[in-house]
Chain A
Amino acid sequence: MKENRINRQAVILSKEYHQANFTWILTLLISLLFLMNSFSFKTGEVKPYVFALFGAYLATALLQLFIAWRIKRDLLLSGDIRKGTRRLGYIQLVSLATGNVFTASFSLHLLNKRKTPEYTFAVYTVLTQLFVIAISALNMFKPYVTDTFPMAMLLLLLVLVFQVVVLAIVAKTIREDNYPSSVGILALLTALTAITGNLFALLLGGSLLLKSRSTDESRIAKWNTMWEKITRNTMAVFGMFFIILMLTISVVSRFTFDYEVAVENDYGNILQSPSLVYPFGTDNFGRDVFSRIIFGARISLLVGFAATLIPAVIGGFLGGIAGYYSNRTDNWIMRLLDVLYAIPGILLAIAIIAAFGANTVNLIIALSLGSIPTYARTMRANVLMVSNYDFVDSARALGASDFSIIFRQIVPNSLAPMIVKATLTIGGAVIATSSLSYLGLGVEPHIPEWGNILRVGSTYLESHSYLAIFPGLAIILLVLSFNFLGDGLRDALDPRLD
């Protein structure tokens, strides 16, 4: 009886079991989505390709359900997952062919019993690379590809091979307590592959380097706990995966996608339905919506990051000063910022753009200005709290200058809430960019930007709904991803949740 209770505990604690359930439910939902789309309600016809996808996803979901059941049974019986069950992960890995990132990441996690943050990074490095290659490869169905395409694809494939090798090495050799210093070169090379935008590779390389070089146990432990907490939150990891995938695509698309397909009008191919040549169809000017969305990611991410970074730096600086020097300075800065705070952000942005014209730089400035006060407030509150700590008094006693106290002692210790706030507001910035473009106030209408694409789509909602659905989905997914990642970071960084 006692044994059984321990095993029940094991079921509750098991990361794999939770993930398995999460994965089969999600896969089933996606398969239902495909089922709904495979019937044309007007004509009653079945679309064979979509229906096949539904079948594949349903099969995956059923297999996943079976795996979940096996895990539960194993855990209840022995308190541990048996080897045979883990081997099922190899079968489930096949589902990667249908683009199911959820089951793929699950099965890779199931296969390896020892979970180090490095293994997770390596898995997602490879998955990101694979997806980027798959997305870029869709260009092969086009009548022609951009000149750099074959070379870029070759390099991407080589990088993928290298990363798979790294994944294997990490899976075989890395233990919680064993970081051979020989992985240094490997770590550097891996980090180097992050120039494609694949930040997972950078994390992997950095993490390996940190652990193979550092002797500071507490630092390693801190790093491990933080990532442990983030990776426990499945949605946060998938959010991070999508963001990094978008980032990588934005970088790689420069070499694998043809910009002219996205901006030049092609009157022979107006309003084509989705097909292999035009995966998301073409818009009213015959431009490939898929390429437009890919290139649009660049602007959305750029504006999103810039419009978050600028106010975070300015607001952080002002908030830091205001919080450290109390009363008069504080009042001056904060009351002035209150004036700015009183103006609705989006109205301020519209006013700025109406006055100075619509382009990317003005868009970033317009969106940045409005959110300076909120960052200043967050920073000020943290600084007020941190500046009362003993180490600040010690620094002061040691004769450190105000400047050095603020920027070397206080600010680094007040950063965590700022990071969380920033991730949560990037989503808002992405939406604001798209909203302004949707209103015709963002970037010029022919430039691929998600809000622009959505605006064209909105006038064709009834006859060619895919024109609005795909950019809409892209915006939703990116914003959701930032929000999930923000949530995950908050859970991991907030000391009160320990």
Chain B
Amino acid sequence: MRKKLLALTLVLVVVLAGCVKTKTDVSKEAETDSKGNGPSEKVQIELLGTSSGEEDMNIVRDQLIKNGFDVKLNIQPDYGSFKAQRDAGNFDIALSSWTTVTGNPDYAVRSLFKSDGDNSNIQDDEVDQLIDKASTETPDEYKETYKDLEQRIVGEKAYIAPLYISYKAQGINKEVLNPDTVRLAKSRAIAWETIDFNDASKRTEPLITQQAIGSLTSLDPIKGNDGSINTLNTNMYVRLVNLTDDDQVVSDGSLSYNYAIADGNSDYYFLLRDDIHFAKVENGKAVDTGERVGAEDAVFSLNRAKDKDSVPDHRTYSLHESMDKVEIVTDLSALDNAKQSGADGSIREALEQGLETKIEELVEDKTKADNGSGKYQVVKVTTQEPFPQVLNYLAHQSAGIVSEKQVESINTYDVASFNPDKDIPYGDQRTVTEGATYNNHLYTSGPYILVTKNDYQAEFAKNPAYRAGSEFEPKIERVTVRFIEDPDSALSALRNGEIHLFNGVPETKYDLVENDEKLVLQKNDSNAVAYLLFNNNSDRAVAKSENLRKAVLYSINQEEFLNFYQGNKKKAYSTVSPLVDTGNELTADAAKVKELLTSYQAE
């Protein structure tokens, strides 16, 4: 009996073994000609990232391991500690990302790859030359230059390994808001003034939106360039020009009627409008100061934007360094004599396009301007080199126009001996935070003004003197910005009606928004590129060996990223990819990786 049972089991197992495939069977079948002399010893790569980038890190780790690397993860809980680790050089590759908020390719490369860039760890003369060359060129010309630059940075030298381009997506509560009035621009921050409720009678109620960071760097536009204030300052200060949703420079919704580029690409003219006044906060309400936003303020704002020493903690001067002179034009004949770039007409013709009243006189004093009777103000910007992309920088939030009178009256401290504990600069968040330090001194030229904030939200009110009566007059009277850090929590807040608008729906959650009856998902391209930054400036092997860097580069398979994000990402080649279609593409190549690793080990 027992023997029978045993025999039966044996037979069973033989049958069982016959009908399953073991791993070696399968891998033998899958074995292809890629078999080469693999590296004798595994190369260890240290990958640095934040816990929010954990998924990308896992994909990179998986791809590197499958290509014969050994990966050590260094996951930091937040951006601050990540930056500390990166600055200390404790990494071989760091998961990084870059968003070109100005929508021009120069910004996408200058600070990252130029030898003297503020975020650069690369010293390469050829790269420097290419960046400078491209900056003076028009879009048609620079395509080739950026293509060469990309090939130098990625293909030849492998200073970075590109991963993907993200989309931008925002969820809108369509039961409350009219989705057609909500813009989603590729580069610029969202404009609040166009947004309207379905029911126009509810315009006195607040529009409730969200942002992740609640600690505001500064409400002085030149003193910050990060996620905490980009949207807020964009809506609080008007600029000379604006970007459309697909990154064209226009005058719509800006301080100018028209702008023109003079022949030679170094002089830029802006014809200012007279229907915007500064707003201030009085007794918790936004009121009209009666002070017009004029050319003097524009000149003052741009001059302080390009001057490194105009304020302590100046965060944006590198964007504006290309400007040489900013001045008010009072001589009408100067406009007649100057020629347009790439066209036949004069600058005056370009500036007068579509005006109801033609230019009769140019005035220097903003109080004398009266567009209805032909008295206009014109601002001229001169760049050091021919640099057409300066317009993109002028559309950036840091080029927002502040009141000369107000800022000078607040910033009375000495910049060199500035003491943050004692001196309160213009735009300090303490002055708008509820409590003892509250003393709102903001003068804003844009459609909204920040009234008060606390740790949970910020309250904005409409500027009553912002193009009143025109289509650009802000529709909704009040805006509340909730500070919700976790994107999943923010998504929940959107779904349960706590907020009306959520900019930044995670890629893996699109279907939740799409399947929700009261929500609508808007999607647009963005300029956000994720890439791996090599530790190019250290004693580590990755800094010394081009072969090692390239081995990592060719291990990256962007297809797999696209799969993971369910197709909600696009392939990238460098930070320029979303702005210029250079045609470069990165293809994973396991055989090449083996070759490169072997030659690295022979070094």
Bound pair (A, B)? yes
Interface residues in chain A, defined as those with a beta carbon under 8 Å from any beta carbon in chain B: 139-140, 143-147, 149-150, 153-154, 157-158, 161, 165, 258, 264-265, 267-268, 270, 284-285, 358, 440, 444-446, 459, 462-463
Interface residue B250 (Cβ < 8 Å from any Cβ of A): no
| Beta-carbon contact of B13 and A157 below 8 Å | yes
In the complex, what residues of A have CB within 8 A of residue B24's CB?
147
Given A150-B13, A440-B77, A144 and B512 contact (CB-CB distance below 8 Å):
no
Instruction: Write the nearest CB–CB distance from A484 to chain B, whole angstroms.
Output: 34
| Beta-carbon contact of B560 and A265 below 8 Å | yes
- Complex alpha-carbon distance, A487 and B512, angstroms: 45
In the complex, what residues of B have CB within 8 A of residue A158's CB?
6, 9
In the complex, what residues of B have CB within 8 A of residue A459's CB?
488, 508
- Complex alpha-carbon distance, A147 and B24, angstroms: 7
A-B contact count (CB 8 A): 86
The 5 closest A-B pairs by CB, nearest first: A150-B17, A267-B563, A144-B26, A265-B62, A154-B13
Instruction: Write the nearest CB–CB distance from A193 to chain B, whole angstroms.
Output: 15
Given A140-B20, A284-B508, A265 and B59 contact (CB-CB distance below 8 Å):
yes
Interface residues in chain B, defined as those with a beta carbon under 8 Å from any beta carbon in chain A: 2, 5-6, 9-10, 12-13, 16-17, 19-26, 51, 54-55, 57-59, 61-62, 66, 73, 75, 77, 488, 508, 511-512, 559-560, 563-564, 566
- Complex alpha-carbon distance, A272 and B54, angstroms: 21
In the complex, what residues of A have CB within 8 A of residue B75's CB?
358, 440, 444-445
Contacts A/B (CB < 8 Å), 10 sampled:
A140-B16, A145-B23, A153-B16, A264-B66, A265-B560, A445-B54, A445-B57, A445-B58, A459-B508, A462-B512
In the complex, what residues of A have CB within 8 A of residue B566's CB?
270
| Beta-carbon contact of A150 and B61 below 8 Å | no
In the complex, what residues of B have CB within 8 A of residue A445's CB?
54, 57-58, 73, 75
Instruction: Write the nearest CB–CB distance from A318 to chain B, whole angstroms.
Output: 34
| Beta-carbon contact of A150 and B20 below 8 Å | yes
- Complex alpha-carbon distance, A146 and B25, angstroms: 10
Given A264-B62, A445-B58, A145 and B488 contact (CB-CB distance below 8 Å):
no
- Complex alpha-carbon distance, A140 and B511, angstroms: 34
| Beta-carbon contact of A143 and B58 below 8 Å | no
- Complex alpha-carbon distance, A264 and B512, angstroms: 27
- Complex alpha-carbon distance, A305 and B560, angstroms: 39
Given contacts A150-B20, A444-B73, 7 further A-B contacts (CB under 8 A): A144-B20, A144-B25, A150-B16, A153-B16, A270-B566, A446-B58, A446-B61
In the complex, what residues of A have CB within 8 A of residue B19's CB?
140
In the complex, what residues of A have CB within 8 A of residue B66's CB?
264
Nearest opposing residue in chain B for A165, CB measure:
B2
Instruction: Write the nearest CB–CB distance from A189 to chain B, whole angstroms.
Output: 14
Given A265-B59, A459-B488, A149 and B508 contact (CB-CB distance below 8 Å):
no
- Complex alpha-carbon distance, A444 and B563, angstroms: 23
Contact of A149 among B10, B20, B560 (CB under 8 A): B20
| Beta-carbon contact of A161 and B5 below 8 Å | yes
Nearest opposing residue in chain A for B487, CB measure:
A459
Instruction: Write the nearest CB–CB distance from B549 to chain A, whole angstroms.
Output: 23
- Complex alpha-carbon distance, A108 and B189, angstroms: 71
In the complex, what residues of A have CB within 8 A of residue B55's CB?
284-285
Instruction: Write the nearest CB–CB distance from A252 to chain B, whole angstroms.
Output: 16
Instruction: Write the nearest CB–CB distance from A246 to chain B, whole angstroms.
Output: 25
Instruction: Write the nearest CB–CB distance from A270 to chain B, whole angstroms.
Output: 7
Given A440-B54, A440-B75, A463-B512, A145 and B22 contact (CB-CB distance below 8 Å):
yes
- Complex alpha-carbon distance, A153 and B20, angstroms: 12
In the complex, what residues of B have CB within 8 A of residue A140's CB?
16, 19-20
In the complex, what residues of A have CB within 8 A of residue B13's CB?
150, 153-154, 157
Instruction: Write the nearest CB–CB distance from B310 to chain A, whole angstroms.
Output: 40
In the complex, what residues of B have CB within 8 A of residue A268's CB?
563
In the complex, what residues of B have CB within 8 A of residue A284's CB?
55, 508, 564
Nearest opposing residue in chain A for B564, CB measure:
A267
Nearest opposing residue in chain B for A444, CB measure:
B73
Given A147-B23, A284-B508, A157 and B9 contact (CB-CB distance below 8 Å):
yes
| Beta-carbon contact of A146 and B22 below 8 Å | yes
Instruction: Write the nearest CB–CB distance from A139 to chain B, whole angstroms.
Output: 8
- Complex alpha-carbon distance, A304 and B147, angstroms: 56
Task: Decide if the interface of chain B is mainly helix, strand, loop or mixed.
Answer: helix
- Complex alpha-carbon distance, A472 and B363, angstroms: 73
Contact of B563 among A146, A154, A258, A270 (CB under 8 A): A270
Nearest opposing residue in chain B for A440, CB measure:
B51
- Complex alpha-carbon distance, A284 and B13, angstroms: 35
| Beta-carbon contact of B21 and A285 below 8 Å | no
Instruction: Write the nearest CB–CB distance from A288 to chain B, whole angstroms.
Output: 14
Nearest opposing residue in chain B for A148, CB measure:
B22
In the complex, what residues of A have CB within 8 A of residue B73's CB?
444-445
Contact of B564 among A154, A264, A270, A446 (CB under 8 A): A270
Contact of B23 among A165, A258, A285, A444 (CB under 8 A): A258
Nearest opposing residue in chain B for A458, CB measure:
B488
Nearest opposing residue in chain A for B511, CB measure:
A463
| Beta-carbon contact of B23 and A144 below 8 Å | yes
Given A265-B560, A445-B58, A445-B75, A145 and B9 contact (CB-CB distance below 8 Å):
no
Nearest opposing residue in chain B for A158, CB measure:
B9
- Complex alpha-carbon distance, A265 and B62, angstroms: 7
| Beta-carbon contact of B58 and A145 below 8 Å | no
| Beta-carbon contact of A147 and B58 below 8 Å | no
- Complex alpha-carbon distance, A143 and B30, angstroms: 13
In the complex, what residues of B have CB within 8 A of residue A149's CB?
20, 22
- Complex alpha-carbon distance, A143 and B20, angstroms: 8
Nearest opposing residue in chain A for B63, CB measure:
A265
- Complex alpha-carbon distance, A265 and B13, angstroms: 31
- Complex alpha-carbon distance, A140 and B17, angstroms: 10
- Complex alpha-carbon distance, A460 and B498, angstroms: 21
- Complex alpha-carbon distance, A153 and B77, angstroms: 43
- Complex alpha-carbon distance, A165 and B1, angstroms: 11
- Complex alpha-carbon distance, A181 and B59, angstroms: 61
Nearest opposing residue in chain A for B27, CB measure:
A144
- Complex alpha-carbon distance, A139 and B488, angstroms: 35
In the complex, what residues of A have CB within 8 A of residue B508's CB?
284, 459
| Beta-carbon contact of B22 and A150 below 8 Å | yes
| Beta-carbon contact of A146 and B23 below 8 Å | yes
In the complex, what residues of A have CB within 8 A of residue B22's CB?
144-147, 149-150
Nearest opposing residue in chain A for B10, CB measure:
A154
Instruction: Write the nearest CB–CB distance from A460 to chain B, whole angstroms.
Output: 8
Instruction: Write the nearest CB–CB distance from B562 to chain A, whole angstroms.
Output: 9
Instruction: Write the nearest CB–CB distance from A89 to chain B, whole angstroms.
Output: 21
- Complex alpha-carbon distance, A358 and B59, angstroms: 20
Nearest opposing residue in chain A for B559, CB measure:
A267
Contact of A265 among B2, B17, B26, B58 (CB under 8 A): B58
Instruction: Write the nearest CB–CB distance from B90 to chain A, whole angstroms.
Output: 12
Given A157-B12, A267-B564, A445-B58, A143 and B26 contact (CB-CB distance below 8 Å):
yes
Instruction: Write the nearest CB–CB distance from B560 to chain A, whole angstroms.
Output: 5
- Complex alpha-carbon distance, A161 and B9, angstroms: 9
Contact of A285 among B20, B25, B58, B559 (CB under 8 A): B58
Contact of A144 among B10, B16, B21 (CB under 8 A): B21
Given A144-B20, A144-B21, A285 and B9 contact (CB-CB distance below 8 Å):
no
In the complex, what residues of B have CB within 8 A of residue A157's CB?
9, 12-13
Nearest opposing residue in chain B for A268, CB measure:
B563
- Complex alpha-carbon distance, A265 and B57, angstroms: 12
Nearest opposing residue in chain A for B51, CB measure:
A440
- Complex alpha-carbon distance, A445 and B61, angstroms: 11
In the complex, what residues of B have CB within 8 A of residue A440's CB?
51, 54, 75, 77
| Beta-carbon contact of B51 and A143 below 8 Å | no
Instruction: Write the nearest CB–CB distance from B289 to chain A, whole angstroms.
Output: 48
- Complex alpha-carbon distance, A446 and B24, angstroms: 24
- Complex alpha-carbon distance, A285 and B564, angstroms: 7
Instruction: Write the nearest CB–CB distance from A140 to chain B, whole angstroms.
Output: 5
In the complex, what residues of B have CB within 8 A of residue A161's CB?
5-6, 9
| Beta-carbon contact of A145 and B20 below 8 Å | yes
Nearest opposing residue in chain B for A137, CB measure:
B16
- Complex alpha-carbon distance, A406 and B192, angstroms: 77
